[in-house]
Structure 1
């Protein structure tokens, strides 16, 4: 966490310090630099950062235990929500049967 915070402060300072010099030299084309960074980040996140929405904690734990790239991980666990719902229904049915007995 400290490394990430330090890197954030350093990059924030560097961008703030060098922006006036760069915009003075290349004017509006500096926006293309930021555009390139955004496009690169979008591709990187889409390819390597797994989506964890709708996954159980066990699935997310397995993700970080056995690293799987983002796209492959979603294919592997695309049925995780349906399996979880089926298990919950089965557990509720067993609980109802045990209460009635």
Structure 2
């Protein structure tokens, strides 16, 4: 999840602190070894979202992820134009899919001899 603080809100009349949040809307599905490459690629897709949240609606947790997003693409101006918002969601999707291993449940073979 990407988190950016927007001190002045989107409109000059509001003084409520907002945050630009990017995260996973639809996570990858389960993949098994007997699936083909095409099916694995289809099930490994991630859908991302980009939203502005009020600080009062956010809950801090102990988890953190450092995924650098391009700040020229993902910023508060993306909500003024739908094409820019699609581009920002695509940027977040690509970055989340690059670091897919973080969201993948790892299974290790712990057999002892």
- TM-score, normalisation: structure 1: 0.30
Instruction: Give the number of the structure with larger relative contact order, counting CA–CA contacts within 8 Å between residues 6 or more apart.
Output: 2
Where is the strand percentage greater, Structure 1 or Structure 2?
2
TM-score relative to the length of structure 2: 0.28
